[in-house]
Chains A and B, each alone.
Chain A
Amino acid sequence: MASANATSPAGPSRFWDRLNISTKRLIWAWAFLALPILFYAGIRFYPTFQAFWLSLTNWDLLRPAQFIGLANYQKMFADPIFWKVFQNTFLYLIIGTPISLLISFVIAYYLDRVKVMHGFIRALYFLPYLTTAAAMGWVWRWFYQPVPIGVINSFLSTLGIAQQPFLRSVDQALISILIPAIWAGLGFQIIIFMAGLRAIPSTFYEAARIDGLGEWAILRKITIPLLKPTTVFLVVFSSIGFLRIFDQVYNMTTNDPGGPLNATKPLVLMIYQTAFSSYQMGYAAAQTVVLFTILLIVSLLQLYVLREKK
């Protein structure tokens, strides 16, 4: 550009001068925006649309993809395992999100008032969030073992309570995996909640106390309503997290991933297995489209809730 301008100043520079200031600004803005847009188009959007197309083919990596219409979707909706997995995915969401938000709010609410060793306690809560999910999954997997090595079962048997199967049970396994997943996410949610609590002006509380409001009323009328933006953010953030749960499940059930009997298998794990263990890329793409749709709906709900507030 610079050398082109230097050798022939007439043509291009005159064209540039003729533009008015707002057009120039627009061009500059688009020039800067073009880079991330091109990047996103190539790295995100193109593969996303490619996945939609793949979901209509029978691609298996080895042979060229053939268009097979909606056969993958028919197969998926007729597959009882898919519906089991679909149900699991929503169980992770429906149980995980409210419980984790409730616990983290309660902890943040009281931790906010603790002055002694405040930083240390906060660090303790935040620590699991920094730990690799895989490492944590394996530690918890051993916690849940039967006697003689499982910590929880050894404790239960010393109390004279029958040992529990935990991960080896179709009823308990999902909850057993959710507990460490919730625990791991608590630290982050507590920090965000505390930031939200701190952001509420203390004058509101002073005024309420002068008016003679009790603690419970202050919580209901002031704290919770003013925390709404924080809560909405955390609901969406943790919902997406639970909808995409994978690490904990995979690491706690590697011998029989998502087992026993698909009791713990989330959609992401099913996609992984279909794609990289059975190499049915087309079928996996169809499952991905379903996951994409679910995540899209959750995100649109977030936008709707936020807009309503303003």
Chain B
Amino acid sequence: MFTKAKMAALAASISFLALSSAQAVEIEYWQYVFDSRVQAMDKLIANFQAANPDITVKHTTFPYADYQTRVVAAKVAGQGPDVVQLFYGWTDQFVNGGLIKPLDPAVFPHDEIESEFFPIVSAMKRGEDYYGLPTAVRSLALFYNKALLDEAGVQPPSTLDELLAVAEATTKRDGGGNITTAGITMDMAGQDHHWWRETLIRQFGGAPYDAEGNVAYDDAAGAAALKFYTDLQTEHKVGLIGFMDEGQAAFRAGMAAMTIDGTFRLGAFANNPFEWGVVELPANAEGLKSNYSSYFANAIGATAEGEELEAAQKFLAYISSPEAMEIWLATVGELPARRDVALTEANLADPIRGPFLKGLEYAQTTRFYDEAAQRQTSIDMVNRVLLEGQSIEDSIAQAAAAEQGIIDAGRQ
């Protein structure tokens, strides 16, 4: 009698469990650990779950340093996330590795993506398919220390010539000629390699890559751009690679008048003990401007199927919505990826956001195959000129060959 009743209860509870699991879907969202990003995503998940009570989103984070490895390891173990965040530069690796699946055009129509997002979203397109959508995007701008510029009696620069003049006016040196306050930070390991690649090369009349994506900077324009950069240290002596260890550290310490950095630095600079401002990256003499933009996109994991896929699509649509972008902008400070959310009167008039948003209009997005290795070629190129006295032309030729090798290897 007793056991029969027990059995019945057990059977009932099993069927109940099965029933409830059929109704409530749990999906998993993965991103890397960064305080404000985690907070913003928690807010978005709470809103999403309130609107979709039948879906639960499990938020999992990993340290940035082993984020990619974790995603890959999870795939190998067959337990990938349903929605996953990835840097746009990793798309090839993620697609080739079968970690993410293309977005269903019925749910995410291509013409809507192309008309509503900034054109840099095309970096998520492979063949006919989009593989992810960003919530927020980043661009570069010139940060300046207002106190140091006022002291030298100069205004923030808007052209490259003005940049040199301002840097010269704000650089301070000791009796031995050593820089004690830099006019502009030089940090190829930071954002300067993007500045050189996507801005300076174009401003000197060249292009970093040709239409097929092969290296195209081994020419007079590339050399002129490299010379402009290395001359800051060798000719004008307004900056020094390694000064205060890192460019951003020098600027934060108030020992550099200008630095080129991205939106993601706004949080770190917020508590600087001096007044600072932001202007667009300087134009060349003809007024040509260029910028580099990057972003983390959200994609759907390859293992999501059936109702989990449906829930994942719903979630991805929500975190790419205008509402989510507003929340992300307020919490993280990154720029909305949709034009009409980003380019509002209020945002454009904002003295900090404005210059970054204007930069987005003409920004380029480099197609990276191995971002760290490609950056290393630029670091080495500058070091060969500065430390080994190699000629500009030889150094750029060597860098071009090395980077082309990485691109060729990445395409295999």
A101-B372 Cα distance, complex, nearest whole Å: 38
Shortest Cβ distance from residue B129 to the other chain A in the assembled complex, whole angstroms: 18
- The residue on A at minimum CB distance from B181 is A148
Shortest Cβ distance from residue A160 to the other chain B in the assembled complex, whole angstroms: 8
- In the bound complex, do residue A256 and residue B376 qualify as a contact, i.e. CB atoms below 8 Å apart? yes
- In the bound complex, do residue A260 and residue B383 qualify as a contact, i.e. CB atoms below 8 Å apart? yes
Cβ < 8 Å to B, chain A residues 140-173: 141-142, 145-149, 153, 157, 160, 162-163, 165, 167-170
- The residue on A at minimum CB distance from B246 is A255
Determine which residue in A62, A169, A277, A279 has the highest number of CB atoms from chain B within 10 A of its CB, and name it.
A62
A278-B371 Cα distance, complex, nearest whole Å: 9
A147-B182 Cα distance, complex, nearest whole Å: 11
A149-B250 Cα distance, complex, nearest whole Å: 10
- In the bound complex, do residue B178 and residue A163 qualify as a contact, i.e. CB atoms below 8 Å apart? yes
Decide yes or no: A169 and B245 within 8 Å by CB, A163-B176, A256-B379, A278-B370 being known contacts: no
Cβ < 8 Å to A, chain B residues 30-68: 66, 68
- The residue on A at minimum CB distance from B370 is A278
- The residue on B at minimum CB distance from A157 is B176
Decide yes or no: A255 and B189 within 8 Å by CB, A146-B242, A146-B243, A162-B176 being known contacts: yes
- In the bound complex, do residue B180 and residue A147 qualify as a contact, i.e. CB atoms below 8 Å apart? yes
- The residue on B at minimum CB distance from A261 is B383
- In the bound complex, do residue A259 and residue B383 qualify as a contact, i.e. CB atoms below 8 Å apart? yes
Q: Is B373 an interface residue (CB 8 A)?
A: yes
Q: Is A61 an interface residue (CB 8 A)?
A: yes
Give the bracket for the number of chain A residues in contact with chain B. Answer: 20 to 34
Which residues on the A side are within 8 Å of B190 (C-beta)?
A: 255
- The residue on B at minimum CB distance from A153 is B178
Shortest Cβ distance from residue B380 to the other chain A in the assembled complex, whole angstroms: 6
Which residues on the B side are within 8 Å of A292 (C-beta)?
A: none
Q: Is A276 an interface residue (CB 8 A)?
A: yes
Which residues on the A side are within 8 Å of B76 (C-beta)?
A: 61
A170-B389 Cα distance, complex, nearest whole Å: 11
Which residues on the A side are within 8 Å of B383 (C-beta)?
A: 170, 256, 259-261
A310-B188 Cα distance, complex, nearest whole Å: 57
- In the bound complex, do residue A62 and residue B180 qualify as a contact, i.e. CB atoms below 8 Å apart? no
Q: Is B255 an interface residue (CB 8 A)?
A: yes
- In the bound complex, do residue B240 and residue A62 qualify as a contact, i.e. CB atoms below 8 Å apart? no
A141-B242 Cα distance, complex, nearest whole Å: 11
Decide yes or no: A277 and B372 within 8 Å by CB, A146-B240, A163-B176, A255-B246 being known contacts: yes
Which residues on the B side are within 8 Å of A256 (C-beta)?
A: 189, 376, 379, 383
A278-B376 Cα distance, complex, nearest whole Å: 12
Cβ < 8 Å to A, chain B residues 183-230: 187, 189-190
A229-B68 Cα distance, complex, nearest whole Å: 47
A163-B373 Cα distance, complex, nearest whole Å: 31
A141-B249 Cα distance, complex, nearest whole Å: 14
Shortest Cβ distance from residue A177 to the other chain B in the assembled complex, whole angstroms: 15
Q: Is B244 an interface residue (CB 8 A)?
A: yes
- In the bound complex, do residue A62 and residue B96 qualify as a contact, i.e. CB atoms below 8 Å apart? yes
- In the bound complex, do residue A261 and residue B242 qualify as a contact, i.e. CB atoms below 8 Å apart? no
- In the bound complex, do residue A145 and residue B189 qualify as a contact, i.e. CB atoms below 8 Å apart? no
Point out the residue from A149, A168, A276 that lies within 8 Å of B69, measured CB to CB.
A276
Which residues on the B side are within 8 Å of A142 (C-beta)?
A: 245
Which residues on the A side are within 8 Å of B241 (C-beta)?
A: 168
Which residues on the B side are within 8 Å of A115 (C-beta)?
A: none
A279-B369 Cα distance, complex, nearest whole Å: 12
- The residue on A at minimum CB distance from B412 is A58
- In the bound complex, do residue B72 and residue A170 qualify as a contact, i.e. CB atoms below 8 Å apart? no
- In the bound complex, do residue B245 and residue A62 qualify as a contact, i.e. CB atoms below 8 Å apart? no
Point out the residue from A62, A147, A255, A277 that lies within 8 Å of B99, measured CB to CB.
A62
Interface string of B231-252 (1 = CB under 8 A from A): 0000000001111111000000
A142-B240 Cα distance, complex, nearest whole Å: 16
- In the bound complex, do residue B379 and residue A147 qualify as a contact, i.e. CB atoms below 8 Å apart? no
- In the bound complex, do residue B72 and residue A62 qualify as a contact, i.e. CB atoms below 8 Å apart? yes
- In the bound complex, do residue B174 and residue A157 qualify as a contact, i.e. CB atoms below 8 Å apart? yes
Q: Is B98 an interface residue (CB 8 A)?
A: yes
- In the bound complex, do residue B97 and residue A63 qualify as a contact, i.e. CB atoms below 8 Å apart? yes
A51-B178 Cα distance, complex, nearest whole Å: 50
Interface string of B60-95 (1 = CB under 8 A from A): 000000101100110110000000000000000100
Interface string of B353-381 (1 = CB under 8 A from A): 00000000000000000101100100110
- In the bound complex, do residue B180 and residue A148 qualify as a contact, i.e. CB atoms below 8 Å apart? yes
Decide yes or no: A259 and B379 within 8 Å by CB, A145-B242, A157-B178, A163-B176 being known contacts: yes
Which residues on the A side are within 8 Å of B98 (C-beta)?
A: 62
Shortest Cβ distance from residue A59 to the other chain B in the assembled complex, whole angstroms: 11
Shortest Cβ distance from residue A21 to the other chain B in the assembled complex, whole angstroms: 50
Decide yes or no: A62 and B97 within 8 Å by CB, A256-B376, A261-B388 being known contacts: yes
Decide yes or no: A261 and B240 within 8 Å by CB, A148-B180, A163-B176 being known contacts: no
Which residues on the A side are within 8 Å of B388 (C-beta)?
A: 170, 261
Which residues on the B side are within 8 Å of A147 (C-beta)?
A: 174, 178-180
A165-B241 Cα distance, complex, nearest whole Å: 10
Q: Is B387 an interface residue (CB 8 A)?
A: yes
Interface string of B162-188 (1 = CB under 8 A from A): 000000000000101011100000010
- In the bound complex, do residue B97 and residue A261 qualify as a contact, i.e. CB atoms below 8 Å apart? no
Point out the residue from A63, A153, A162, A278 that lies within 8 Å of B372, measured CB to CB.
A278
6 residue pairs, one from A and one from B, having the closest CB atoms: A62-B97, A255-B189, A168-B242, A260-B383, A61-B72, A147-B178
List B residues at the A interface (Cβ < 8 Å).
66, 68-69, 72-73, 75-76, 93, 96-99, 174, 176, 178-180, 187, 189-190, 240-246, 255, 370, 372-373, 376, 379-380, 383-384, 387-388
Task: Report 21 cross-chain contacts, Cβ distance below 8 Å, ordered by A residue.
Answer: A61-B69, A61-B76, A61-B97, A62-B99, A63-B96, A146-B242, A148-B174, A148-B180, A149-B244, A167-B242, A168-B242, A170-B388, A256-B379, A260-B380, A260-B383, A261-B387, A276-B69, A277-B372, A277-B373, A279-B72, A279-B93
Known: A62-B96, A148-B180, A277-B373. 8 other contacts (CB 8 A): A146-B240, A169-B387, A170-B383, A255-B245, A256-B189, A256-B376, A256-B379, A276-B66
